[in-house]
Amino acid sequence: MVKPRPARDRIVPTSLEEELRQSYLAYALSVMVGRALPDGRDGLKPVQRRILYAMWQMGLTAQRPPRKSARVVGEVLGKYHPHGDQSVYAALVRLAQEFHCRYPLIEGQGNFGSIDNDPAAAMRYTEARLSAFAVQILFTDLHPAIVDFHDNFDSTEAEPRVLPAQLPLLLLNGCSGIAVGMATQIPPHHAGEIIEALIHLIDYPHLSDERLYSLLPGPDFPTGGELVNPHTIPQVYRTGRGAITLRGVWHRETQGTGKRAKPVIVITELPYQVVKADWLSRTAALIHQGRLGGIADLRDESDRDGVRVVVTLKSGQEVAEIIQQLLQQTPLEIQFHASFLALIGGRPQHCSLRRLLQEFLEFRELTLQRSYAHEWREVTQQMTRLTALHQAITHLDIVFTILRHCQSIDQAKADLMQRLALTEDQAETVLSTPLRRLTRLEAEGLQTQLTQLTQRQSRLTQLQQDRGERLRELKKQLKQCQKQYGGSRKTRLGTTPLSEDVGVTLRLSAAGVWHRGERRPGQQLCLDLTAAASNLRDPILWQGELRPGERLLVFGERGGLYELTGREMAGGAPGWPDWFTWEAGLLPVVVDAETMGVWLVSRGGYGTVMGVPDLWQGAWGFPPGDGVLAVGTWQTGQELYLASGQGRVWRGKLPRRSHGKSLLVLAAGESLVGAVMVTRKTAVQGVTAGGECQDLPAMPLGEEVATGVAWVGLVAGLGIAYGHTNRQRWVRLGMDLALGEQVVRVVQVRMGGEF
Contact 607, 620 (CB under 8 A): no
- Measured distance CA(29)–CA(180) in Å, rounded: 8
Q: What is the DSSP letter of 8?
A: G
Contact 679, 623 (CB under 8 A): no
The one catalytic residue among 80, 89, 103, 125: 125
- Rounded to 10 deg, the angle between the 69-79 and 46-57 helix axes is 110
CA 79 → CA 57, 75, 152, 154, 630, distances in Å?
Answer: 11, 6, 7, 8, 58
- Measured distance CA(174)–CA(235) in Å, rounded: 18
- Measured distance CA(237)–CA(232) in Å, rounded: 9
- CB atoms under 10 Å from CB of 487, counted, come to 11
CA 316 → CA 75, 293, 311, 478, distances in Å?
Answer: 62, 12, 15, 55
39-44-47-51 Cα dihedral, nearest 10 degrees = -140
Contact 396, 433 (CB under 8 A): no
- Rounded to 10 deg, the angle between the 440-465 and 353-394 helix axes is 150
Q: Which residues contact 335 (CB under 8 A, 6 or more apart)?
A: 243, 244, 245, 246, 565, 567, 568
Look at strands 262-269 and 719-725 and give their pairing: unpaired
Q: Which residue type occupies 187?
A: P
Among 537, 550, 536, 556, smallest CA distance to 506 is for: 550
Contact 464, 473 (CB under 8 A): no
CA 516 → CA 254, 506, 587, 730, distances in Å?
Answer: 35, 6, 20, 21
- CB atoms under 10 Å from CB of 438, counted, come to 16
How does DSSP assign 141-192, residue by residue? T--TTTS-EEE-TTSSSEEESS---SS-HHHHT-EEEE-SS-EEEE----HH
For 428, half-sphere exposure in the C-beta direction (CA atoms, 13 angstrom radius) is 4
Contact 722, 529 (CB under 8 A): yes
Paired with 631 in beta bridges are: 600
Among 163, 157, 155, smallest CA distance to 42 is for: 163
- Measured distance CA(733)–CA(282) in Å, rounded: 48
For 189, half-sphere exposure in the C-beta direction (CA atoms, 13 angstrom radius) is 27
Rama region for 504: left / alpha / beta (φ>0; ψ in -120 to 50; rest): beta
103 is annotated as an active-site residue: no
- Measured distance CA(543)–CA(545) in Å, rounded: 7
Helix (H, G, I), strand (E, B) or coil at 615: helix
- Measured distance CA(647)–CA(673) in Å, rounded: 10
Would you please indicate which residues are annotated as catalytic (active-site) residues?
125
